[in-house]
Amino acid sequence: MSSTSTDTVLVTGGSGFLGSRVIAHALGAGYRIRTTVRSLGREAQVREDLAAMGVDAGERLTFVAADLTADEGWAEAVAGCRYVLHTASHFPGGEPEHEDDLIVPAREGTLRVLRAARDAGVERVVVTSSFAAVGYGRPATERPFTEEDWTDPDSDIPAYIKSKVLAERAAWDFVEREGNGLQLATVAPVGIFGPVVGSDHSSSITMITGLFSGAMPGTPRLYFAVVDVRDAADLHLKAMIDPKAAGERFIAAAGDAVSLHQIALAIRDRLGDAASAVPATELPDETVRKAAEANPALKGMLPNLGKARHVSNDKARTVLGWNPRSSDDAVAATAESLLALGLLPVTSPR
């Protein structure tokens, strides 16, 4: 499969933290980009964000209004496109009243994009899934999770996690049964960090701002894997054009899970005095449990204390030649960008 700069790529969700980076990388690789936004009123902000990334999109970027919950606009969005990078998704502010309020839009939105792509003769779709579709609903073990693993949707998991696994399952089932030759690859990012350029960024970023609040005497023993948004975008493009990516899943992770303590230390090391409010110590589990008795908002983290979901990025590295930044670099870049934008709380060190 050879790609040329005359190829048009549809990027869904172009105003999102990941979507805008995908657009920037694809434009940098010479493609013409069409992107969907829920409202065309967001075009100016997307172009402003791209400019902050050093990208002048000009006429090579066009916009179509389309929503994942409705059919309108999708035929126009995919017309003439060789590839589709489906990064758009709905991330809830909290648990919905009923899990179907999340699951149905996630699944049906993905199928809506795939049907439109198939009908338009698109060659390959890359769907942004999530590590939520890989590593939950079963005990964390010393063996790292890989692309062979699937979250058990019948287990006791939050609606958001269930929505991600059911949406990706639906995508694979659709392509197998009704794809008519449409190629599919999926990318499953872990927590997305990296440089922030505007107001729309991943939910992971709030974890960094929380470290700067000065409210935490130390970090709880929490572990999670990290990926820089620039590397996640790069992996999407590799999955789009590499013949070996067709029919494959790829985990987007800088490396194995790291502790919140390691993240805090990396930020303190990189930002120096500006990060003096970031805690330098790790709290014993019992201290966190006692704090949760007085502050119910902390109870949600208790089941995850001391538990690491190990993850492997070997497949993306070996099959696609992906070479991501380190976890420390990703989180430090996040903090540096937030500081530059004035988005970090100004506090006195404890």
Range of the domain at 129: 8-194+227-254+312-324
> Is 275 a domain residue?
yes
Q: What is residue 138's predicted lDDT score, i.e. its pLDDT?
A: 82
Do 86 and 156 lie in a common domain?
yes
Do 219 and 231 lie in a common domain?
no
Q: What is residue 323's predicted lDDT score, i.e. its pLDDT?
A: 98
DSSP 311: B
Do 263 and 135 lie in a common domain?
no
> Is 51 a domain residue?
yes
Do 104 and 214 lie in a common domain?
no
> Is 1 a domain residue?
no
Q: Is 269 helix (H, G, I), strand (E, B) or coil?
A: helix
* % the chain with pLDDT above 70: 95
Does 93 score more than 80 pLDDT?
A: no
> Is 222 a domain residue?
yes
Q: How far apart are CA 239 and CA 271, in angstroms?
A: 34
Do 208 and 193 touch, CB atoms closer than 8 A? yes
Do 201 and 173 lie in a common domain?
no
Do 176 and 287 lie in a common domain?
no
HSE-up of residue 169 (Cα within 13 Å, Cβ side): 16
189-221 pLDDT, tens digit per residue, is: 999 999 999 766 767 888 899 999 888 899 999
225-269 pLDDT, tens digit per residue, is: 999 999 999 999 999 999 999 999 999 999 999 999 999 999 999
Number of domains in the chain: 2
Do 79 and 18 lie in a common domain?
yes
For residue 15, how far is the Cα from the chain centroid? 13
